Amino acid sequence: MPVIAVVGGQWGDEGKGKVVDFLAERVNMVVRFSGGDNAGHTVINPFGKFKLHLIPSGIFYPDVTCIIANGVVVNPVVLTKEIDDLNKRGIDTSRLFISDRANLVMPYHILLDGLEEEARGGGALGTTRRGIGPAFTDKVARLGIRAGELLNRETLKQRLGFVLDYKNRILTRVYGVEPVGLDELYQQCCRWGEGLTGHLRDTSAMLDEAVSNGDTILLEGAQGALLDPDFGTYPYTSSSSSLAGNGCIGAGIGPAKIDKVVGIFKAYNTRVGAGPMPTELKDKTGDLIRERAQEFGTTTGRPRRCGWFDAVAARYSQVVNGLTGAVITRLDILDAFDKIKICVGYKLDGKTINYFPADAAALYRCQPIYEEVAGWQTPTSHITGYDELPSRLKDYVSRLEGLIDCPVHLACVGPERSQAVIKTPIF
Ligand code: IMP
């Protein structure tokens, strides 16, 4: 049975949560492997409408084991709240496991995220201010506190004291703000440890056992390829790798064990936060997409920047992820348009290019070269069979399939689980 990585193909918010929710019916395990609570997805299913930041959407299926793996940075406050909220609404969370190797997002990370953004002034990245960048920085600086450490109170106090001593010097001397108190934070950590103890595990070992048993496993990424710190629009990126390759390290599984890599793309493009976005529409068309799709961040509520589908970026995303298939979401948003544009190249400094430049400054100068196709101008949200979709919509999907250069599995026409129309089965 396959191990399938599900990753964002654009700048995040492509609808990974919805796709995982749809696929999870057929799987045994869902493993979230990157990012933190900067991610957020809204899932609408027979149990209601849920906003999740950390817990994989597989949690709604009683037989699916859900893992938050070592590659995720975990804010215990957010996680505890999500667990409590789900439990209150009758969703069982006893099958949720968190890697004891996952680094924690601490209150001082959130503080520093805000202070660093303020210090950047006009060069601010527009982070979600959830402390994600500072937490990943501490992970590689070996100053992180890992989830498993919450269970060993003696060493926890020692490590916390060492780390806080360093952090407090930065907070007070660089930023001139109040230090974080050790005792209070230590007590808080002990409470988090008590609350999470039943969920903490060596999740890589669980994954290994599931692979040996022949289970079907989804590796769920966060954000999207264009926010990847290596391949995204650096420095306007997030701080953990959003690519399928990080599914191995972030979940603790060997590369040869991943059978399929499915990239999720919206039928148009959105971006939240600063940084280049060649197809951004700062006009009525962009506003119309935003209004129709309610493109406002799940985590921050910020309006998302909207634009036409960027096939140069999408093809690049296919290459750096090694996509074996794609899903196109939110096609119903385009129901209203008589003409739809697809960016098939860029004009950069007078030259036509068909690659995604590494340099953010160059990307800012890229002018999209568009191909225009006729819209289908008919409602599609009720359609459940691929053959019943309007022929122009199918032409659009086929064109994207050719440009991205991998088969499209699903064409999504609404936010609900049932509104995913199968073109080519994934399983
Ligand atoms: P950070 O991940 O909070 O440090 O933010 C860095 C950049 O990534 C900002 O532009 C954020 O808006 C963006 N970002 C982070 N997480 C997401 C996400 O889940 N969806 C879309 N953008 C995100």
pLDDT, tens only, 324-351: 999 999 999 999 999 999 999 999 999 9
Average pLDDT of 279-290? 97
In this prediction, residue 377 has a pLDDT band, given cuts at 50, 70 and 90, of very high
The pLDDT assigned to 98 comes to 98
The pLDDT assigned to 398 comes to 98
The Cα–Cα gap between 262 and 265 comes to 10
Q: What percent of the chain has pLDDT over 90?
A: 93
Nearest residue to 111 via CA among 136, 129, 128, 125: 129
In this prediction, residue 57 has a pLDDT band, given cuts at 50, 70 and 90, of confident
- Please say if the pLDDT value at position 100 is more than 90: yes
- Please say if the pLDDT value at position 1 is more than 80: no
Distance from the alpha carbon of residue 423 to the mean position of ligand 1, in angstroms: 30
In this prediction, residue 131 has a pLDDT band, given cuts at 50, 70 and 90, of very high
- Please say if the pLDDT value at position 15 is more than 90: yes
Q: Does residue 38's CB lie within 6 angstroms of at least one atom of ligand 1?
A: yes
Closest approach atom of ligand 1 to CA 275: 10
In this prediction, residue 43 has a pLDDT band, given cuts at 50, 70 and 90, of confident
In this prediction, residue 45 has a pLDDT band, given cuts at 50, 70 and 90, of confident
335 near 268, Cβ under 8 Å? no
Give the number of other CB atoms < 10 A from CB of residue 182.
Answer: 15
Alpha carbon distances (Å) from 153 to 28, 149, 159, 180, 216:
34, 8, 10, 19, 37
> Residue whose CA is closest, atom 11 of ligand 1?
127
In this prediction, residue 224 has a pLDDT band, given cuts at 50, 70 and 90, of very high
- Please say if the pLDDT value at position 44 is more than 90: no
| 199 counts as catalytic | no
pLDDT digits (tens, 9 = 90+) for 172-213: 999 999 999 999 999 999 999 999 999 999 999 999 999 999
The pLDDT assigned to 153 comes to 93
The pLDDT assigned to 158 comes to 96
Q: Does residue 228's CB lie within 6 angstroms of at least one atom of ligand 1?
A: no
The pLDDT assigned to 231 comes to 98
| 41 counts as catalytic | yes
Q: Does residue 227's CB lie within 6 angstroms of at least one atom of ligand 1?
A: yes
The pLDDT assigned to 46 comes to 86
Q: Angle formed by the axes of helices 153-169 and 182-196, to 10°?
A: 140
Average pLDDT of 366-383? 98
> Residue whose CA is closest, atom 5 of ligand 1?
127
Q: Does residue 324's CB lie within 6 angstroms of at least one atom of ligand 1?
A: no
Average pLDDT of 369-385? 97
Classify residue 118 by burial, with Cβ atoms within 10 Å: 0-12, 13-18, 19+: exposed
Cα distance from N-terminal residue to C-terminal residue, the chain: 9
> Residue whose CA is closest, atom 19 of ligand 1?
39
- Quote the mean pLDDT of the chain: 96
- Please say if the pLDDT value at position 298 is more than 90: no
416 near 382, Cβ under 8 Å? no
| Contacts for 7 with CB less than 8 Å, ≥ 6 apart | 16, 221, 224, 225, 242, 243, 244, 247, 261, 262, 263, 264, 321, 323
- Please say if the pLDDT value at position 300 is more than 90: no
Which of 21, 37, 41, 138 is labelled catalytic? 41
In this prediction, residue 72 has a pLDDT band, given cuts at 50, 70 and 90, of very high
Closest approach atom of ligand 1 to CA 227: 8
In this prediction, residue 59 has a pLDDT band, given cuts at 50, 70 and 90, of very high
The pLDDT assigned to 405 comes to 97
The pLDDT assigned to 370 comes to 98
The pLDDT assigned to 299 comes to 81
The Cα–Cα gap between 324 and 369 comes to 26
